[in-house]
């Protein structure tokens, strides 16, 4: 029987989601605890990779077990009791046996946080950037992302992507007090794509690049033209959404907390 977990994690202490040799990962922690509770090796498949230091607020992963869990809330309680404090399970849902956390995802959402003031409590969860930014120009440039589907310009080299085609459905900046926030949604993302886009859009905000130049860079499909990637600590995966028919229970999933 297959179950989806909705979880969040602070990525500061992990080398990303995926299991790494001789390095801590979120996937490894989940598999360790699940295998202990279920008393059998239990692989976990996630919705996608997140890089070292990147966080997640609504991540999805699936695992299989031979028998029905029964009280999923009680099972969730035991999972959380054994997991480190920087990983939390929010919900467990029964799904069809062929449901897949990665391949069935219809949309993913990332949010990037920048902070214009020195804040000791957000150093590990935002890019503390004191320079003045032109939000209107950044939004004008970000709107061009919806006009393209080939994101080779923002694809990390040697990532073994089968395709660099993605469909971006939303990309926009907003100001929230001292925080500057970028949200982007797409059917899929390439490795390091959001950080590369964010860093290049910041160049637009600084006046180092025009929105029209940003569009030209997108069209060129040349990684060397992109700006520097934004630091990892400001990036959060904030939602993964799925077609409701894959779930056996009737509670909605994939909405940000």
Mean pLDDT by 10 residues, the chain (257 residues): 97 96 96 97 96 96 94 96 98 96 97 95 95 96 97 82 92 96 97 96 97 97 94 97 89 46
pLDDT of residue 171: 98
Strands (E), the chain: 2-9, 45-46, 55-64, 87-95, 107-115, 127-128, 168-176, 179-186, 235-241
CA atoms within 13 Å, Cβ hemisphere of 251: 11
Residue 130: Cβ-neighbour burial (10 angstroms; 0-12, 13-18, 19+): exposed
Q: Tally Cβ neighbours within 10 Å of residue 114.
A: 24
Say which of 51, 64, 86, 97 is annotated catalytic. 51
Judged on CB neighbours under 10 Å (0-12, 13-18, 19+), 98 is exposed
Respond yes or no: is residue 51 known to be catalytic: yes
Structure confidence at residue 160 (pLDDT): 65
Would you state the pLDDT for residue 251? 55
Tokens of 194: 């959001």
User: In this structure, are residues 143 and 135 in contact, taking their beta carbons and an 8 Å threshold?
Assistant: no
Beta strand pairing status for 55-64 and 235-241?
parallel
Give the pLDDT score at 256.
40
| pLDDT at 158 (0 to 100) | 65
- Specify the DSSP element, H or E, that contains 11: none
Whole-model pTM above 0.85?
A: yes
- Three-state DSSP at 50 gives coil
């Amino acid at each position: 029987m297959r179950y989806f977990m909705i979880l969040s994690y602070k990525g500061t202490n992990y080398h990303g989601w995926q299991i790494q040799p001789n390095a801590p990962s979120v996937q490894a922690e989940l598999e360790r605890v699940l295998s202990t509770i279920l008393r059998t090796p239990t692989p976990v498949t996630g919705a996608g990779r997140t890089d070292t230091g990147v966080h997640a607020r609504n991540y999805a992963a699936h695992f299989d077990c031979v028998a029905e869990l029964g009280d999923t809330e009680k099972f969730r309680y035991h999972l959380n009791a054994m997991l480190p404090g920087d990983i939390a399970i929010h919900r467990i849902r029964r799904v069809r046996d062929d449901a897949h956390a990665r391949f069935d995802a219809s949309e993913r959402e990332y949010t990037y946080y920048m902070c214009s003031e020195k804040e000791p409590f957000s150093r590990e969860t935002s890019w503390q950037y004191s320079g003045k930014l032109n939000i209107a120009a950044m939004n004008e440039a970000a709107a061009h992302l919806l006009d393209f589907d080939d994101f080779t310009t923002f694809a990390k080299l040697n990532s073994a992507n089968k395709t660099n085609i993605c469909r971006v459905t939303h990309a926009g900046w907003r100001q929230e007090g001292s925080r500057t926030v970028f949200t982007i949604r797409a059917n899929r993302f390439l490795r390091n794509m959001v950080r590369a886009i964010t860093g290049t859009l910041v160049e637009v905000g600084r006046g180092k690049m025009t929105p029209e130049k940003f569009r030209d860079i997108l069209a060129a499909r040349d990684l060397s033209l992109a700006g520097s990637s934004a630091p990892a600590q400001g990036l959060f995966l904030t939602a993964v959404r799925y077609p409701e028919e894959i779930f056996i229970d009737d509670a909605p999933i994939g909405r940000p907390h």
